[in-house]
Chains A and B, each alone.
Chain A
Amino acid sequence: MIELFRDIKVDWLGKRKLFLAISGGLMLLGLISLVIKGGFKYGVDFKGGTIVQVRFKQKPDVEKIRQLLRENGAADSQPQEIAGRNDVIIEFQGAKEEDASAGRSIIISALNKGFQGQFEVLSATSIGPKVGDDLKRQAVFATLYALGGILVYIAFRFEWIYGAAAVFAVFHDTLVTLGLFSIFNREINLTVIAALLTLVGYSVNDTIVVFDRVRENLKIRRRDELETIMNDSINQTLSRTILTSGLTFLTVLALFVFGGEIINHFAFAMVVGIIVGTYSSIAIAAPLVLVYTNIRGRAVPQVAVPTRPAVAKTVAKTVAKTPKPKRA
Chain B
Amino acid sequence: MKERVHLGLDLKGGTHLVLQVVTDDAIRAETDQAIDSTRQELQKQNIIFRQLTRTQSNTLQAVGVDPNKDADFRRILNERFTEWDLVSTAGEVPNTYTIRLKPPQEQAYRQQSVDQAINTIRNRIDQLGVGEVVIQKHGGPGEDEILVQLPGVDDPARVKNIMQSTAQLELKLVDSGPYPSQAAAAQNYGGFVPSNLEVLPSVERDVASAEGTYYAVQQVASITGRDLKGAYPSRDENGRPAVSFNLNADGAQRMGRVTGENMGKMLAIVLDKRIQSAPRINGRITDSGIITGGASGFAPQAAQDLALVLRSGALPASIKYLDEEVVGPTLGADSIRAGLIAAVVALLSVVVFMLVYYKLSGVNATIAMVLNLIILFGAMAYFGAALTLPGIAGVILTIGVGIDSNVLIFERIREELRAGKTAVSAVVTSFGRVFITLVDTHLAALISATFLFLFGTGPVKGFAVTLVIGLVSNMFTAVFVSRTLFEWVLNRRQRPETISI
- What is the interface of chain A, defined by CB distance below 8 A to chain B? 1-3, 6, 53, 55, 99-101, 104, 120-128, 130-131, 134-135, 138-139, 141-142, 145-147, 149-150, 153-154, 157, 190-191, 193-195, 197-198, 200-202, 204-205, 208-209, 212-213, 216, 236-237, 239-240, 243-244, 247-248, 250-252, 254-255, 257-260, 262-263, 266, 318-319
Contact check, A101 vs B459: say whether CB atoms are below 8 A apart. Answer: no
List, in ascending order, chain A residues with CB within 8 A of B463's CB. 194, 198
Instruction: Out of A127, A157, A236, A259, name the residue touching B342 (CB < 8 Å).
Output: A259
Q: Does B196 contact A (CB under 8 A)?
A: no
| Interface residues on chain B, size class | 35 or more
User: A101-B156, A146-B447 are contacts. A123–B326 as well, Cβ < 8 Å?
Assistant: yes
Contact check, B349 vs A250: say whether CB atoms are below 8 A apart. Answer: yes
List, in ascending order, chain B residues with CB within 8 A of A209's CB. 408, 437, 441
The chain B residue with its CB closest to the CB of A102 is B321
List, in ascending order, chain A residues with CB within 8 A of B207's CB. none
List, in ascending order, chain B residues with CB within 8 A of A237's CB. 411
- What is the interface of chain B, defined by CB distance below 8 A to chain A? 10, 17-18, 139, 143, 154, 156-157, 160, 320-328, 330-331, 334-335, 338-339, 341-343, 345-346, 349-350, 353, 356-357, 359, 389-390, 393, 396-397, 399-401, 403-404, 407-408, 411-412, 414-415, 418, 433, 436-437, 440-441, 443-445, 447-452, 454-460, 463, 467, 501
Contact check, B445 vs A204: say whether CB atoms are below 8 A apart. Answer: yes
CA distance A46 to B460 in the complex (A): 14
Q: In the assembled complex, how far is the CB of residue B66 from the closest CB belonging to chain A, in whole angstroms? A: 46
CA distance A319 to B334 in the complex (A): 50
List, in ascending order, chain B residues with CB within 8 A of A236's CB. 415
Not counting A204-B448, A255-B342, A258-B342, a sample of 19 additional A-B residue pairs whose C-beta atoms are within 8 angstroms of each other reads A100-B324, A123-B331, A124-B324, A126-B324, A138-B456, A190-B459, A191-B389, A191-B393, A191-B459, A194-B463, A205-B404, A209-B441, A236-B415, A244-B407, A244-B408, A247-B350, A255-B346, A259-B342, A262-B335
Contact check, A318 vs B436: say whether CB atoms are below 8 A apart. Answer: yes
Contact check, B444 vs A205: say whether CB atoms are below 8 A apart. Answer: yes
Instruction: Out of B403, B414, B455, B459, name the residue touching A145 (CB < 8 Å).
Output: B455
Contact check, A254 vs B345: say whether CB atoms are below 8 A apart. Answer: yes
Q: In the assembled complex, how far is the CB of residue A322 from the closest CB belonging to chain B, in whole angstroms? A: 11
List, in ascending order, chain B residues with CB within 8 A of A139's CB. 456, 460
Q: Which 7 pairs from chain A and chain B are nearest by CB?
A: A260-B338, A251-B346, A122-B331, A146-B448, A100-B321, A142-B455, A248-B400
The chain A residue with its CB closest to the CB of B160 is A101
Main secondary structure, interface of B, reads helix
List, in ascending order, chain A residues with CB within 8 A of B324's CB. 100-101, 104, 124-127
Contact check, B411 vs A201: say whether CB atoms are below 8 A apart. Answer: no
Q: In the assembled complex, how far is the CB of residue B145 from the closest CB belonging to chain A, in whole angstroms? A: 8
List, in ascending order, chain B residues with CB within 8 A of A138's CB. 455-457
Q: In the assembled complex, how far is the CB of residue B209 from the closest CB belonging to chain A, in whole angstroms? A: 33
List, in ascending order, chain B residues with CB within 8 A of A200's CB. 448
List, in ascending order, chain A residues with CB within 8 A of B357's CB. 2, 243
List, in ascending order, chain B residues with CB within 8 A of A262's CB. 10, 335, 389
Contact check, B326 vs A124: say whether CB atoms are below 8 A apart. Answer: yes
User: A128-B323, A240-B411 are contacts. A142–B452 as well, Cβ < 8 Å?
Assistant: yes
List, in ascending order, chain B residues with CB within 8 A of A126's CB. 323-325
The chain A residue with its CB closest to the CB of B460 is A194
Contact check, B452 vs A128: say whether CB atoms are below 8 A apart. Answer: no
List, in ascending order, chain B residues with CB within 8 A of A104's CB. 324, 326
Contact check, A198 vs B397: say whether CB atoms are below 8 A apart. Answer: yes
Q: In the assembled complex, how far is the CB of residue A50 from the closest CB belonging to chain B, in whole angstroms? A: 9
Contact check, B460 vs A263: say whether CB atoms are below 8 A apart. Answer: no
User: A125-B325, A142-B456, A142-B460 are contacts. A99–B320 as well, Cβ < 8 Å?
Assistant: yes
List, in ascending order, chain A residues with CB within 8 A of B411's CB. 237, 239-240, 243
The listed residue with most A CB atoms (<10 A of its CB), out of B10, B139, B357, B459, is B459
CA distance A162 to B299 in the complex (A): 71
List, in ascending order, chain B residues with CB within 8 A of A120's CB. 328, 330
Contact check, B452 vs A194: say whether CB atoms are below 8 A apart. Answer: yes
CA distance A134 to B501 in the complex (A): 51
Contact check, A258 vs B389: say whether CB atoms are below 8 A apart. Answer: no
List, in ascending order, chain B residues with CB within 8 A of A213's CB. 437
List, in ascending order, chain B residues with CB within 8 A of A212's CB. 436-437, 440
User: A101-B321, A190-B458, A197-B452 are contacts. A247–B327 as well, Cβ < 8 Å?
Assistant: no
Instruction: Out of B331, B397, B436, B450, name the residue touching A53 (CB < 8 Å).
Output: B331
List, in ascending order, chain A residues with CB within 8 A of B334's CB. 122, 260
Contact check, B18 vs A131: say whether CB atoms are below 8 A apart. Answer: yes
List, in ascending order, chain B residues with CB within 8 A of A99's CB. 320-321
Contact check, A244 vs B404: say whether CB atoms are below 8 A apart. Answer: yes
CA distance A100 to B458 in the complex (A): 17
Instruction: Out of A128, A146, A204, A240, name the residue touching B407 (CB < 8 Å).
Output: A240
Contact check, A124 vs B459: say whether CB atoms are below 8 A apart. Answer: no
Contact check, B327 vs A123: say whether CB atoms are below 8 A apart. Answer: yes
Contact check, A145 vs B393: say whether CB atoms are below 8 A apart. Answer: no
Q: In the assembled complex, how far is the CB of residue A18 from the closest CB belonging to chain B, in whole angstroms? A: 27
| 7 contacts across the A-B interface (CB closer than 8 A) | A55-B330, A123-B327, A139-B460, A201-B448, A250-B349, A262-B10, A263-B389
Instruction: Out of B323, B350, B359, B450, name the residue touching A100 (CB < 8 Å).
Output: B323
CA distance A200 to B444 in the complex (A): 10
CA distance A193 to B463 in the complex (A): 11
Contact check, B448 vs A149: say whether CB atoms are below 8 A apart. Answer: yes
Contact check, A122 vs B328: say whether CB atoms are below 8 A apart. Answer: yes
Q: In the assembled complex, how far is the CB of residue A12 from the closest CB belonging to chain B, in whole angstroms? A: 18
